[in-house]
Amino acid sequence: MEYRYLGKSGLKVSVIGLGTNNFGRRLDADASALVINHALDMGVNMIDTSNSYGDGYSEEYIGRALEGKRDKAIIGTKVSSAVGDGPNDGGNSRQHIMVAVEDSLRRLKTDYIDLYQIHWHDPHVPIEETLRALDDLVRQGKVRYIGCSNFTAWQVCEAAWTSKTLGISEFVSVQPRYSLMDRGIEAELVPFCESYGVGILPYYPLANGFLTGKYRRGQNAPEGTRLAESDRGMFTDANFDLLERLEAFCEARGHSVLELAFAWLLANGAVSSVIAGATRVEQIISNARASSWQLTSYEIAEVGGIIDAVMPGN
């Protein structure tokens, strides 16, 4: 397994990470532990969760699975989503963050969170209030690094400027939606992260599993898979056209489209870890092995050409 620095921090994370939004929802404690243990065995240390996944059970199952081996994992969790009905049960206020962090630490059965991420930008709370609360947690030793998620380039830039001006902890990472099928962040956020050393943790890197090739044009989704519940608007002709052209590109080079999904993201040095979700042991094993393909600049250009031809403006 290759490890990269998380942005300009000194923290090394595995280039293949583990996303856990299925834990506590589609996976019970034992199934989650099985995936986590195999991930650790394969050298995956980056585990991404949130206080909202599975209504808190994702954190809880991770905490149980990591008992006795907490030091093997880098846990990234999040705060911001509403976790109750009260007026302060969500958002990015000092009030909510201070309560939520204690709940996450308890569920995770740990006394520190490696990466504490603000899940969503909150237009009602000054970024200074949020960053000062996070900085206090860093100084208390409850949190080691801070990051954000679903922030636009100007929002990450505003946060960086605020932290610098105040001399307090800065976001070392941002977690946006990013994959071969969703390149919306390339215009603004990616160049910002490259210039300022902010690590990118792409979510939906496999487009909810579509980029594994297990969904076929004109066929029902395999039973038990995520897109069997709802196709989330993925089963369009344009998406299958793109998938099939990418598959042809990969087959000609002896690789799979799954490998391309990881390799293409990792070809960008600002991407620190690709936190794909996995529901089965076989998935985490093949994902952990998928990072070995190093795309050449010609191959990257060719893939870009394929995407532009099928989905202009993507």
Ligand X SMILES: NC(=O)c1ccc[n+]([C@@H]2O[C@H](COP(=O)([O-])OP(=O)(O)OC[C@H]3O[C@@H](n4cnc5c(N)ncnc54)[C@H](OP(=O)(O)O)[C@@H]3O)[C@@H](O)[C@H]2O)c1
Catalytic residues: 53
Considering the complex, state which of residue 136 and residue 286 has its C-beta at the smaller distance from ligand X. 286
Q: Which segment (18-26, 62-70, 90-98, 192-200) binds ligand X by CB under 6 A?
A: 18-26
Q: Is 291 in the site for ligand X (CB under 6 A)?
A: no
Q: How far apart are the first and last CA of the chain?
A: 31
Considering the complex, state which of residue 37 and residue 286 has its C-beta at the smaller distance from ligand X. 286
Considering the complex, state which of residue 31 and residue 98 has its C-beta at the smaller distance from ligand X. 31
Nearest 5°: phi and psi at 216? -115, 145
Considering the complex, state which of residue 10 and residue 233 has its C-beta at the smaller distance from ligand X. 233
Q: Is 287 in the site for ligand X (CB under 6 A)?
A: yes
199-209 burial, b if ≥16 CB within 10 A, otherwise e? bbbbbbbbbbb
Report the site for ligand X in 202-231 (rule: CB under 6 A).
203-209, 212, 214, 225-226
Q: Is 278 in the site for ligand X (CB under 6 A)?
A: yes
How many residues touch ligand X under the rule CB under 6 A: the total is 28
Q: Is 243 in the site for ligand X (CB under 6 A)?
A: no
Q: What is the side-by-side strand order in the sheet with 199-200?
A: 18-19, 46-48, 74-79, 113-118, 143-149, 171-175, 199-200
Considering the complex, state which of residue 251 and residue 301 has its C-beta at the smaller distance from ligand X. 251
Q: How far is the CB of 64 from ligand X (least distance, A)?
A: 18
Q: Is 277 in the site for ligand X (CB under 6 A)?
A: yes
The candidate with the shortest Cα–Cα distance to 109, out of 164, 158, 67, 168, is 67
Q: Is 259 in the site for ligand X (CB under 6 A)?
A: no
Considering the complex, state which of residue 139 and residue 232 has its C-beta at the smaller distance from ligand X. 232
Q: Is 163 in the site for ligand X (CB under 6 A)?
A: no
Q: How far is the CB of 21 from ligand X (least distance, A)?
A: 4
Q: Which segment (16-24, 127-135, 240-248, 302-310) binds ligand X by CB under 6 A?
A: 16-24
List Cβ neighbours of 108 (8 Å cut-off, separation of 6 or more): 59, 60, 62, 63, 66, 75, 77
Q: Which of 7, 13, 16, 19 binds ligand X (CB under 6 A)?
A: 19
Q: How far is the CB of 23 from ligand X (least distance, A)?
A: 8
Q: Which segment (65-73, 91-99, 128-136, 201-209) binds ligand X by CB under 6 A?
A: 201-209
Q: Which residues bind ligand X (CB under 6 A)?
A: 19-22, 48, 149-150, 175, 203-209, 212, 214, 225-226, 258, 275-279, 283, 286-287
